[in-house]
Amino acid sequence: MRARSILAFCGVAVLFAGGCALLNSAPMAHIAASVLSGESPLLVAFDAAGSVDTDGRIVAYRWSFSDGTTAEGIEVDHVFAPSSPMTYTVTLDVEDNGGAIGTIQQSIEVRIAPDPDNDPPFARFTFEPTHGDGPLFVTFDATRSLDVDGEVVLYAWDFGDGTTGSGPQISHTYNPIATTNYPATLTAYDDDGASTSTTAIVSVYIEEVVPFDGPTAELTVSAPVQVYDAGEALPSVPSLFRVTFTPEGSVAVPGHEIELYIWNFGDGESASIESDDEIEHTYRSGTPTRTFVVSLTVIDDQGLQDSVVGNVTVVND
């Protein structure tokens, strides 16, 4: 009884030695960067003011720029100055007054300004297979790329399906929902910041299943049975006629089956059933003679359908 009272008083807490301590939630770190890419040397202003702590306050902001340098503070500036193209991963750790830490990372891409006297590299690649049925696993090789006055230092890939990669040799799986030609692009960067791109087409085929043969709809109509006669005493009340319908003769092609029978009785009412059972419907008619046009539509497991119509004539003597 004592423990229950303490827990009720403390809410979400850890019970210890007859008391309790509230659980501390880690803060949520947030990075805002003035730019995400640019040429070296690249000055980037970082702002962590969007970081929040829902159950306390943030007391420390610690930055790591993945180039061997660090900094502290809500707002910091940093210059990235690589001698070759580089992607840096900036890490922010925020610590709250309870000692909990939240972490977030942001990538910064730094390019090298091209030398006007530098010859750009030649981007070349081979890939195997060049086409095939999906899903298609393709291996790309860019080792034939070259730079006549330096060296290729970065191989950037755009596979044409919304995904990217890097490296002189790389593999990728294409998984389209329909036959698609993908433009795979390689961009080669040299050690002076110049780049060249080249593109090739990867064709991935998806077999289309085209159904050729559909079902056949047939129906049988029983003779209307008059179940109520308004008579001369109740001229405004329509007579009722009960009719039985069967989808006898409706069939699907071999290897398939009918999944749905849709009945339209011609008087504004309809019914959909999944079996070939007979179905009964009652018509109302206040006129001496009236003909209703009934239709049956059958749909098979290929999504193909067929329809048939029949007439129901009621005579109100």
Residue spans of the domains in the chain: they are 27-112, 126-205, 220-315
The CA R_g of the chain, rounded to the nearest whole Å, is 38
Taking residue 57's Cβ as centre, other Cβ atoms within 10 Å add up to 10
What are the b/e assignments for 284-294, b being 16+ CB within 10 Å?
Answer: ebeeeebebeb
pLDDT-based confidence at residue 231 (cuts at 50, 70, 90): low
Tell me: cis bond preceding 129? Omega within 30 of 0 counts. Answer: yes
How far is 64 from 59, CA to CA, in rounded Å? 17
CATH no. for 27-112: 2.60.40.10
The rounded percent of the chain whose pLDDT value lies above 70 is: 86
Residues facing 107 on adjacent strands: 89
The three-state secondary structure class of 284 is: strand
**Of 78, 191, 184, the residue nearest 130 (C-alpha):** 184
pLDDT in tens, 75-119: 999 999 998 888 999 999 999 999 999 999 999 999 877 777 788
Instruction: Identify whether 238 is preceded by a cis peptide bond (ω within 30 of 0).
Output: no
pLDDT of residue 168: 95
Quote the pLDDT of residue 35: 93
What is the CATH architecture of 126-205? Sandwich (2.60)
pLDDT at 248 > cutoff 80:
yes
Do the domains at 27-112 and 220-315 have one common CATH topology?
Answer: yes
Mean pLDDT of the chain, nearest integer: 85
The whole-angstrom separation of Cα 128 and Cα 240 is 74
220-315 belongs to CATH 3.30.930.10: no
pLDDT of residue 84: 81
| 87: nearest Cα among 130, 54, 38, 48 | 38
